[in-house]
Amino acid sequence: MKVRINGVDERISEANLTLEQLIADRGLSPKKVVIELNLSIVPRKQWPQVTLQDSDSIEIVSFVGGG
Amino acid sequence: MKEDSLEIGGVEINCRLFVGTGKFSSHALMREVLLAAKADVTTVALRRVDNGAKADNILDYIPSGCKVMINTSGARTADEAVRIARLARAAGAGNWIKIEVIADNRYLLPDNLETLKATETLVQEGFVVFPYMSPDLTVARRLAECGAAAVMPLGAPIGSNRGLKTKELVAIMIKEIKAPIIVDAGLGKPSEACECMEMGCAAVLVNTAIAVSRNPIDYARAFSQAVQAGRLAYLSGLVESVDEARASSPLTGFLRDGD
């Protein structure tokens, strides 16, 4: 399965990978990031139920310093 | 509410120096700067996360009571700015948004037309919107009409520390627009912030000048005091200037024959 994460194409071998697992696999702290899946924001409480599908486009973002 | 506080979106703002959080050497220093300036409003940005990024959450370092405005930096169109604003709100960062839509990489000058579009959309969605713009009376008027909480003209290009190069245009905006005018970007010295406040700006936003200073904490304090001084002078009414001298000591009673 091919997905696009933060603008980079990636192959995912795992079936039914949830957003919750994706964040954990990438070593990220769930409380600090926001996920946008195919241009829609996915609330954190839905992460355990939402699984990645082929061709999904995901943005994982967080806050940084800025003026 | 204190006598001269600024109220925006139901929030009482006593410190008219807004301080951005970019370019500091650490989150801890950034926090010290916000505390030293007694900042009531600050800004942060939203970016893609790298794998394994264990960095601290910058929001944890912002003093309690300091209102966070999320900027849409990185957006090149109104749609991108709207998308960033929605993500920020979903992330629990509140609904204060500084719209920054920039299509020019060299001078980082804002795209006023896309900024106006984004402002219209986000006001309708219930955001408290602070559009960063190139000073232009007509655009400022439209931004205010569609519900911008304040209008934020640039003083000079972002991070340039050149001061209030847009003074004449900002002065016209202050005279003609009811919404608060907040000079954002380009201020390098406390005296320049003071100048903005003397003219009647509601506030100023400073980031780079403080962050790159040899002593950011004291520089922030200096900016804060300059903003207060300028505000006080504005409220007192600036005095008239004349070409010729007007003696400040009495012109009679000299120790001279015949006087």
Segment B129-156, tens digit of pLDDT: 999 999 999 999 999 999 999 999 999 9
B57 and chain A: CB distance < 8 Å anywhere? Answer: yes
Phi first, then psi, for residue B97 (nearest 5°) are -130, 125
Search chain B and give the residue with CA nearest A41: B87
pLDDT tens-place string over residues B215-235: 999 999 999 999 999 999 999
Is A41's CB within 8 Å of B158's CB? no
Q: Which residues pair with A10 in a beta bridge?
A: A3
Residues of chain A contacting residue B90, judged by C-beta atoms under 8 Å apart: 34, 41, 43
Q: Report pLDDT for A14.
A: 87
Search chain A and give the residue with CA nearest B85: A41
State how far the Cα of B219 lies from the Cα of A46, in Å rounded to an integer.
45
> Under a CB-based contact definition with an 8 Å cutoff, are residues A4 and A56 in contact?
yes
Residues of chain B contacting residue A66, judged by C-beta atoms under 8 Å apart: 20-22, 43-45, 71, 73, 207
Tell me how many residue pairs between chain A and chain B have CB atoms under 8 A apart.
Answer: 96
Q: What percent of chain A has pLDDT over 90?
A: 63
pLDDT tens-place string over residues B83-134: 999 989 888 788 999 999 998 889 999 999 999 999 999 999 999 999 999 9
Q: What is the CATH number of domain A2-61?
A: 3.10.20.30
Is A61's CB within 8 Å of B46's CB? yes
CB atoms within 10 A of CB B189: 17
User: Please, what is the average pLDDT of chain B?
Assistant: 93
Phi first, then psi, for residue B81 (nearest 5°) are -65, -40
Please tell me the distance in Å from A42's CA to the nearest CA on chain B: 9
Q: Where are the beta strands (DSSP E) in B124-244?
A: 128-133, 152-153, 182-184, 203-206
Query: Domains (ranges, CATH) in chain B?
Result: 6-236 (3.20.20.70)
Report yes or no on whether pTM surpasses 0.80.
yes
Is B87's CB within 8 Å of A34's CB? yes
Domain ranges of chain A: 2-61
Give me the mean pLDDT over the A41-55 stretch.
93
Which of B2, B54, B98, B117 is the catalytic position?
Answer: B98
Q: Which DSSP symbol is given to B49?
A: P
State how far the Cα of B53 lies from the Cα of A59, in Å rounded to an integer.
15
Is B30's CB within 8 Å of A65's CB? yes
Start-to-end CA distance of chain A, whole Å, equals 39
State how far the Cα of B207 lies from the Cα of B24, in Å rounded to an integer.
9
B87 and chain A: CB distance < 8 Å anywhere? Answer: yes
- Active-site annotation holds for B98: yes
**What count of Cα atoms within 13 Å lies in the side-chain half-sphere of residue B25?**
7
CB atoms within 10 A of CB B35: 13
Q: Report pLDDT for B1.
A: 46
ipTM value for the complex = 0.89
Sign of the Cα pseudo-torsion (B80, B83, B89, B92, in order):
negative
> Under a CB-based contact definition with an 8 Å cutoff, are residues B69 and B129 in contact?
no
